[in-house]
Structure 1
Amino acid sequence: MSPNAPRLPSSLILVGAGKMGGSMLEGWLKVGMKPEGVTVLDPRPSEEMTWFCQERGIALNPANPAAPDVLVLAIKPQMLDEAASSLNACLGSQTLIISILAGKTIDDLRSRLPASRSIVRAMPNLPASIGRGATGAAANEQVSEEQRLMADALLSSNGIVEWLPTEDLIDAVTAVSGSGPAYVFHLVECLAEAGTVAGLPRELAERLARATVTGAGELLFQSDLPPATLRQNVTSPGGTTAAALEVLMRDPNGMRALMREAVAAAKRRAEELAG
């Protein structure tokens, strides 16, 4: 194996093959995970997932699967209690659990899955479905360096991964990157609406707003410059952009204040759900 090759597990069970779980699975296969090493457990797999597993030689809902190197929890959080006993039977002493269940802490998982030991809690976001995700992850003390490398390889197959020093930061990650795509989509809505009020036909305003935000996002993705520098580069003194930013940046109720309030509200709700 190349020193730079991802440390992929030899065996993995994916529990829950919905949109996010299915996207993660595709990402793992793209970076070299062997299909014969993957098992999918889903009581109601979609026709597309059933076909995908058949086409790629992935085991789907076998009876009594062997304990894997990694078990990934991608079910809905409210399904955990119902599935706990059967999942516990899948765990071996060296199995790493990676959970993307919103609101379920590492302690929650340990209490419901008593056979668990090494656990990584991760919070991906919607762009992971197209390989451009941003995931925050935290590991408990039982996770070995080798297991962390495996988790990093799996999670980074769908975008960037930021490892957190403590699990307590997961709620803040949820508020910023987990919920963040919705903020961006709403920005497009608001920009298009403002364009309509300014006189543009609605469909034209929506096309321009969408292209502007996706284009700016791609520029941000490709550039090494800080966002503030990119903003300054497109802001001529006394120009139209400067006039708009005067409202967004210097008004006491402008974008900075609204975003702080929005992220704080999302974080509070994440804390409530985790409690």
Structure 2
Amino acid sequence: MKKIGFIGAGNMAGAIIGGIVKSNLVKSENVIASAKTMANLERLQQEYNINVTLDSKEVVKNSDIVFMAVKPNIFDGVLEGVADLIDDKKIVVSIAAGKSIEAIENIIGADKKIVRTMPNTPALVNEGMSALCPNKNIEDEELKIVKDIFDSFGKSEVVGEYLIDAVIGVSGSSPAYVFMFIEAMADAAVMAGMPRKQAYNFAAQSVLGSAKMVLESGKHPGELKDMVCSPAGTTIDAVKVLENEGMRSAVINAVCACVEKSREMSK
């Protein structure tokens, strides 16, 4: 595995670094990160024993793979500041929303190796879902190396860049929808007399287990739903209410709104 650098040391960068180090993909001494201040850097250094610096150029000089882990509003300026150090052998990995491969190529050159990605916040607990979009210069073995990194803190899929807005709707932003669902179920349990902390445990574990059934059983979600709905039972009454209240159409509309907003941001 190559030397890996991070420009930016926020939560997502920390999650990726944690996955890399804990899975032994690379030794911690082969990981370096930079940030504007030492606060996050010191935490990452203490936790993972990586190299840290306040100089982004040092990251690029000492890395084969460079993660651009800064906010979209400062992305261009930061990348422009190190562009002259990026040659056609280094791999630039972007996790910034709204920054297309073309936009990155316009800054560092169309001959450079770029992978646009979209991870999500469950990466913080090693259950992330990430999309990877390579440009034309990325070779298969290089893409595998990047995929191994993202698989170290969850799962990843290689997709065409034209799908990135759909990815943001169904994965990048969707933890927020799921958190709202868990909170609502817990609120109902509290109304029924259950203590709040216990209600969150029951609701969250049920969502976790249900998701695992979808991933591991290979069954259609509708089939799994039918397995829970006994004739004249409690579940089918709840399902009827959800259908009457338009749960599925509300979720579809929410995801589509997210996708459309993502498309607007990319223009």
TM-score by length of 1: 0.86
Tell me whether 1:171 sits opposite 2:168 in the alignment.
no
Counting matched residue pairs gives 262
Tell me whether 1:121 sits opposite 2:116 in the alignment.
yes
Identical pairs, percent? 31
Amino acid at match of 1:255: M
Match of 2:76? 81
- Tell me, what secondary structure is at the counterpart of 1:181? helix
Amino acid at match of 1:35: S
Contact 1:134/1:159, CA 8 A, preserved across alignment: yes
Report the structure, 1 or 2, having the larger helix content.
2
For residue 136 of structure 1, the aligned residue among 131, 143, 149 is 131
Quickly say closer, same or farther: Cα 1:115–1:87, change in 2 above 3 A.
farther
Amino acid at match of 2:36: P
Query: Shift of residue 56 of structure 1?
Result: 4.8
For residue 39 of structure 2, the aligned residue among 26, 46, 59 is 46
Match of 2:252? 260
Distance in 1 between the 2:35 and 2:108 partners? 18
TM-score by length of 2: 0.88
Contact 1:91/1:115, CA 8 A, preserved across alignment: no
Query: Shift of residue 154 of structure 1?
Result: 1.0
Distance in 2 between the 1:20 and 1:231 partners? 33
Q: Which structure 2 segments of 5+ residues have no match? A: none
Contact 1:67/1:90, CA 8 A, preserved across alignment: no
Distance in 1 between the 2:37 and 2:110 partners? 25
Quickly say closer, same or farther: Cα 1:260–1:177, change in 2 above 3 A.
same
Amino acid at match of 2:259: K
Amino acid at match of 1:212: S
Match of 2:28? 35
Contact 2:185/2:203, CA 8 A, preserved across alignment: yes
Tell me whether 1:274 sits opposite 2:266 in the alignment.
yes
Query: Shift of residue 184 of structure 1?
Result: 0.7
Task: Tell me the alpha carbon deviations over residues 38-67 of structure 1, each in whole angstroms, 9 at most, x when there is no partner.
Answer: 2212112425x3154267552212755326
For residue 247 of structure 1, the aligned residue among 241, 252, 259 is 241
Alignment of 1:61-72 (within 5 A): 61=53, 64-65=57-58, 66=61, 68-72=63-67
Question: Over aligned residues, Cα RMSD in angstroms?
Answer: 2.3
Quickly say closer, same or farther: Cα 1:222–1:55, change in 2 above 3 A.
same
Contact 1:14/1:40, CA 8 A, preserved across alignment: yes
Contact 1:88/1:115, CA 8 A, preserved across alignment: no
Quickly say closer, same or farther: Cα 1:52–1:84, change in 2 above 3 A.
closer
Distance in 1 between the 2:187 and 2:135 partners? 46
Distance in 1 between the 2:211 and 2:178 partners? 10
Alignment of 1:99-110 (within 5 A): 99-110=94-105
Quickly say closer, same or farther: Cα 1:62–1:202, change in 2 above 3 A.
closer
Distance in 1 between the 2:264 and 2:209 partners? 36
